[in-house]
Amino acid sequence: QNRGDVAYARSRATASWLQQRFTPAVDAALRRKGHQPAIYPSLIDEDAPRSGLRYSPEGPRYSTGYGDFAGIPTVLGENHRLKSYRQRVLGDYVLLEEALRLVGRDAHAIDAAKRADRAARPQELMVAWERLPQPIDHIPFKGVTYTRALSPVSGRPELRWEGRDETWTMPVIGYRQTQAVQYPVAWWIPPGNDDVLALLDAHGIDYDRLQQPARRAVQQIRITKTGSDHVPHTHDVEETFPAGSVRVPADQPMRMLAAALLEPRSSDSLLASGRFRHAGSPDSGLYGNELVEFSERVLRSDAALRSAFEQKLASDAAFRADGDARLQWIYARSPYATISGWRYPVRREVRQ
């Protein structure tokens, strides 16, 4: 599985080496020994094998996505479970043997690709994406025949593999960006987060520790709950950081990985994985009638907010039908919200 395809790659030079050098060499070696290499079949629907192949970006939680964020050529090899044990073992042997030969020959090219990717300074990080409505391609795919038969255990038709080779024309389903965050100048982490610093150390992310207090213009991130979603809001503040605070510059080789870990909107952030639990709960503190009466007062006194609310109602049917979302929308934009809610402890230093 080569998930470093240039179409979605974040480390473009490394992905180009994988596509132009690694894939042709390893595929040819595998075929010479009777194996059938192919992209890992991430199916759109596991219960419908011919539904299509998912072809998307990745976060850093798994090895192939991590390699893309860190500028490390990374390949995940998987063997088809319907092949014999002997064939799977020998397939791994051929892959490793050819990979070692190629890396030995291309060591300088790999080093140059890694240096190029780590010197790049992208301005934004994609943090969310969605499936495209139409296939971006159709490709021949070597599948295996299957049927469906009623299972006496589940009481429903279940997939049954028959084991005969069959070539399918498979749609390839791509993805598009739906949300991105701009890189700050740096991230600030308060003292007392040694577990977070240990992770930064493990991943080679550079940072500096303050020896004396320092005052900086930063963005404070407050997280409110809107319906079932936790929504980050930024506020520009002047803040004094005590000695022991840590500044993580964005201008560094591990820029993308640092952002993936420290930006709260990132799906693989430290916040998403359960760090910073001491930050509190993203709760307004207003419930039931209190929140209703508060929202009504805010709309009566703020003509601009009232106008924006009416436009939102007119343009968003789902929002119009969701009473809780309506109340939280007003609360999140009220003056009270700027002094309440869950404050994410990591600050963003931005250019003024």
Q: What is the pLDDT of residues 272-325, one digit of tens each?
A: 888 876 555 545 556 678 889 889 999 999 999 999 999 999 999 999 999 988
β partners of residue 167: 142
Percent of the chain, pLDDT > 70? 91
How does residue 2 score in pLDDT terms, banded at 50, 70 and 90? very low
pLDDT at position 175:
92
What's the rounded Cα separation, in Å, for the pair 227 and 327?
9
pLDDT at position 107:
98
Which residues are CB-contacts of 212 (< 8 A; sequence separation ≥ 6)? 243
Angle at 18 (CA atoms; ends 251, 66), nearest 5 degrees? 45
Residues listed for the chain: 352
> Is the per-residue pLDDT at 150 higher than 80?
yes
> Is the per-residue pLDDT at 153 higher than 50?
yes
Q: Are 224 and 328 in contact (CB under 8 A)?
A: yes
pLDDT at position 46:
87
> Is the per-residue pLDDT at 187 higher than 90?
yes
What's the rounded Cα separation, in Å, for the pair 202 and 194?
12
β partners of residue 173: 54
| Amino acid residing at 283 | D
Which carries the bigger pLDDT value, residue 56 or residue 185?
A: 185
> Is the per-residue pLDDT at 51 higher than 70?
yes
Look up the pTM and report it. Answer: 0.76
> Smallest Cα–Cα separation from 300: which of 334, 341, 325, 324?
334
Three-state DSSP class for residue 150: strand
pLDDT at position 212:
95
pLDDT at position 275:
81
> Is the per-residue pLDDT at 6 higher than 60?
no
Q: Is the dihedral of CA 125, 131, 134, 138 positive or negative?
A: positive
pLDDT at position 38:
84
C-alpha gyration radius of the chain: 25
What's the rounded Cα separation, in Å, for the pair 213 and 58?
38
> Is the per-residue pLDDT at 352 higher than 90?
no
What's the rounded Cα separation, in Å, for the pair 256 and 250?
8
Percent of the chain, pLDDT > 90? 62
Alpha-helical (H) ranges within 78-229 are 85-105, 107-119, 194-202
> Is the per-residue pLDDT at 66 higher than 90?
yes
Three-state DSSP class for residue 63: helix
pLDDT at position 290:
80
Q: How far does Cα 236 stand from its chain's mean position?
A: 26
Alpha-helical (H) ranges within the chain are 12-17, 23-32, 63-70, 85-105, 107-119, 194-202, 255-262, 288-301, 303-315, 317-320, 323-332
In the predicted model, what is the mean pLDDT of residues 331-340? 70
What's the rounded Cα separation, in Å, for the pair 250 and 121?
9
Three-state DSSP class for residue 122: coil
pLDDT at position 227:
58
Distances (CA, A) of 197 to 82, 211, 235: 44, 16, 25
